[in-house]
């Protein structure tokens, strides 16, 4: 019916309802979900603004779910099995990028009628988005200050900051396969910003030069590039949408708005997979 009929007896179903009595609304907890939107103004378009951002957070939750499994699979050298999770992440990213087109139907005049009710809130404060960045390899501990110390969000971010990222695990897998990588790449402060390394670039370039011999690593690397590519497209569309709606005004929460967002477009979680292309 809705693509989950066979799941009605799943152990994760709400405990208060027997499987045989489960309804669509019960399974999806729709009563709570559909009552989680609370516009502060009486302007028609504020509901759209809320739903777009809540939907983004739901997709980020799923991306985090996939990335955590991907990290475990790479640690176990399961570079084929991880394709499913990484492909799912990049496709979720594509859906999130399309959501900017919906938000772009919000005209500057519409947005200004309720922008004041947002106060100091800003997407810059999204703990889940920062957790995704950390899991991929874009570490910046400064973002912790936007989460209340001791909160679930702060704890999740701190945990992701302190452990090897997906790029760290990818390089560790490459080393286990016999590639010579420096100790400074394989054993370092995982919370520190990753610095591109010529030896890492050379190792991955070797994979690309002999794809038949290193097919698993080659395909895995291209899945990682898909995610980086999708992230760059999402960031670019974010910039265009924000400029369309507020121009070059400062963002809510004290951010610089478009000028800040433009600087993020060049971020790469897997930098050597991009620079090696020049060497081929």
pLDDT digits (tens, 9 = 90+) for 38-84: 999 999 999 999 999 999 999 999 999 999 999 999 999 999 999 99
Q: Which pLDDT belongs to residue 257?
A: 72
Q: Which pLDDT belongs to residue 9?
A: 44
HSE-CB at 197 with a 13 A cutoff on CA atoms is 17
pTM of the entire predicted model: 0.89
Distance from C-alpha of 247 to C-alpha of 231, rounded to nearest angstrom: 22
For tokens 């060049």, the residue is 266
What secondary structure does DSSP assign to the chain, as a single string?
--S-GGGTT-TTS-TTS-GGG--HHHHHTHHHHTT----SS--TTHHHHHHHHHHHHHHHHHHHHHHHHHHHHHHTT-TTTHHHHHHHHHHHHHHHHHHHHHHTTS-HHHHHTTGGGGTT--GGG-HHHHHHHHHHT---GGGGGGS-TTSHHHHHHHHHHHS--HHHHHHHHHHHTT----HHHHSS-TTSPP---HHHHHHHHHHHHTTTTTHHHHHHHHHHHHHHHHHHHHHHHHHHHHHHHHTTPPPGGG---HHHHHHHTT--SSTHHHHHHHH-
Task: Please report, rounded to a whole number, the percentage of residues in the chain having pLDDT higher than 90.
Answer: 78
Distance from C-alpha of 131 to C-alpha of 158, rounded to nearest angstrom: 9
Cα 172 → chain centroid = 22
Q: Which pLDDT belongs to residue 256?
A: 64
Contact 96, 24 (CB under 8 A): no
Phi-psi region of 247 (alpha: psi -120 to 50; beta: other; left: phi over 0): left
Q: Which pLDDT belongs to residue 7?
A: 46
Q: Which residue in 177, 181, 198, 127 sits closest to 156, CA to CA?
A: 127
Phi-psi region of 122 (alpha: psi -120 to 50; beta: other; left: phi over 0): beta
Low-confidence ranges of the chain (pLDDT < 50): 1-11
Q: Which residue in 270, 274, 272 sits closest to 86, CA to CA?
A: 270
Query: What are the structural domain ranges in the chain?
Result: 1-36, 50-279
Distance from C-alpha of 126 to C-alpha of 206, rounded to nearest angstrom: 38
Two tokens, residue 163: 């452990």
CATH no. for 50-279: 1.20.58.480
């Amino acid at each position: 019916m809705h693509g989950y009929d066979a799941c009605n007896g799943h152990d994760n179903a709400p405990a208060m309802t027997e499987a045989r009595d489960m309804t669509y609304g019960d399974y999806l907890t729709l009563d709570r979900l559909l009552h989680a939107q609370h516009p502060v103004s009486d302007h028609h378009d504020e509901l759209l603004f809320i739903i777009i951002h809540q939907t983004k957070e739901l997709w980020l939750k799923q991306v985090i779910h996939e990335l955590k499994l991907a990290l475990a699979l790479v640690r176990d050298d399961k570079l084929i099995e991880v394709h499913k999770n990484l492909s799912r992440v990049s496709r979720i990213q594509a859906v999130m990028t399309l959501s900017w087109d919906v938000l772009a139907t919000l005209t500057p005049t519409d947005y200004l009628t309720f922008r004041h009710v947002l106060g100091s809130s800003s997407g810059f404060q999204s703990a889940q988005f920062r957790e995704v960045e950390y899991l991929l390899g874009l570490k910046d501990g400064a973002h912790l200050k936007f989460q209340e110390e001791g909160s679930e969000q702060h704890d999740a971010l701190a945990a992701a900051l302190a452990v090897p990222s997906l790029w760290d695990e990818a390089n560790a897998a490459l080393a286990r396969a016999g590639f010579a990588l420096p100790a400074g790449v394989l054993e370092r402060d995982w919370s520190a910003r990753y610095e591109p390394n010529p030896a890492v670039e050379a190792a991955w370039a070797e994979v690309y030069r002999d794809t038949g011999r290193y097919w698993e690593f080659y395909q895995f690397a291209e899945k990682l590039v898909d995610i980086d590519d999708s992230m760059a497209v999402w960031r670019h569309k974010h910039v265009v949408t924000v400029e369309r709606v507020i121009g070059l005004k400062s963002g809510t929460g004290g951010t610089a708005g478009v000028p800040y967002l433009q600087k993020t477009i060049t971020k790469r979680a897997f930098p050597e997979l991009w620079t090696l292309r020049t060497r081929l």
